[in-house]
């Protein structure tokens, strides 16, 4: 009798046992946490800030005093959650859920003084929250690092209230001719070099670039979201498709 092959996942371009990927990803973010935001600025030329502004702009947080709770998954350093709180009304609050203790340590230091912001350590594929708990769910540049995207999408659907909004900002497939070739060359060569120079860590940044190549393109990811049960699924390309925001509703 043949033994069944263990399930595999991709860690960048490398196949690894499915049950090993999360540990490997955790090790990457433990190493890069301290310089994560600086490297984002350097790698994107500051564009990630505009993309996150677009994410919150599309969410259009309520301005009133009624309760509205955002769950920001894999948002350890607080970039998205604090943007949300800056523009939302006084009744809004945010919860950051991240599996990386090191990333949340950086986030807590940056978020001092934000009384409407809390941090919970947890896995996006098995969120530690009751069903129908949140008005909105955001995840920025975290989805591609997960072992089982389908499980994370099911969890997002589960914890959203009926009428709740799902928004995912992620690197995607460049759809602009010439830009695609330039971006491919830049990301595969310059970003690992920057990681070596600034963070002293070429391997982690090589993985992060490779993980972008392994993530589904815009239409494929939209299909995965629709399969989960979300409605009104749409996406917007940013900077020619270098990144994209996917929006969906639990109706």
Three-class secondary structure assignment of the chain: CCCCCCCEEEECCEEEEHHHHHHHHHHHHHHHHHHHHHHHHHHHCCHHHHHHHHHHHHHCCCCCCCCEEEEEECCCCCHHHHHHHHHCCCCEEEEEEECCHHHHHHHHHHCCCCCCEEEEECECCECCCCCCCEEEEEEECCHHHCCCHHHHHHHHHHHEEEEEEEEEEEECCCCCCCHHHHHHHHHHHHHHHHHHHHHCCHHHHHHHHHHHHHCCCHHHHHHHHHHHCCEEEEEEEEHHHCEEEEEEEEC
| Res 204 pLDDT > 70 | yes
Q: Which pLDDT belongs to residue 39?
A: 85
Percent residues over pLDDT 90 in the chain: 84
Given this model, what pLDDT does residue 48 score?
Answer: 95
Q: What is the CATH class of 8-175+204-250?
A: alpha beta
For residue 85, pLDDT beyond 80? yes
Read off the pLDDT of residues 104-161 as tens digits, 9 standing for 90 and up: 999 999 988 888 999 999 999 999 999 999 999 999 999 999 999 999 999 999 999 9
User: Once rounded to an integer, what is the mean pLDDT over residues 165-185?
Assistant: 95
In this model, does residue 22 exceed pLDDT 90? yes
Q: Is pLDDT above 90 for 35?
A: no
At 1, the pLDDT band (50, 70, 90 cuts) reads very low
């Amino acid at each position: 009798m043949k033994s069944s092959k263990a399930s595999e996942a991709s860690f960048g371009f490398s196949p690894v046992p499915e049950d090993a990927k999360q540990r490997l990803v955790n090790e990457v973010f433990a190493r890069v946490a301290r310089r994560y935001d600086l490297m984002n600025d350097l790698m994107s030329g500051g564009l990630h800030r505009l993309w996150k502004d677009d994410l919150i702009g599309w969410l259009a947080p309520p301005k009133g005093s009624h309760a509205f709770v955002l769950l920001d998954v894999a948002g350890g350093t607080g970039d998205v959650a604090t943007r949300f709180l800056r523009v939302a009304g006084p009744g809004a609050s945010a919860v950051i859920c991240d599996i990386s203790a090191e990333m949340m340590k950086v986030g807590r230091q940056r978020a001092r003084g934000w009384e409407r912001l809390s941090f919970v350590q947890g896995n996006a594929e098995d969120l530690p929250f009751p069903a129908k708990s949140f008005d909105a769910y955001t995840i920025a540049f975290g989805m591609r690092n997960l072992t089982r995207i389908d499980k994370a999408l099911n969890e997002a659907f589960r914890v959203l209230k009926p009428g709740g909004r799902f928004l995912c900002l992620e690197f995607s497939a460049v759809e602009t001719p010439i830009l695609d070739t330039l971006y491919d060359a830049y990301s595969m060569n310059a970003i690992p070099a920057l990681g070596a120079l600034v963070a002293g860590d070429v391997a982690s940044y090589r993985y992060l670039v490779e993980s972008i190549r392994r993530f589904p393109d815009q239409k494929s990811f939209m299909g995965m979201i629709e399969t989960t049960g979300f409605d009104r699924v749409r996406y917007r390309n940013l900077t020619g498709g270098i990144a994209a925001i996917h929006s969906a509703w639990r109706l």
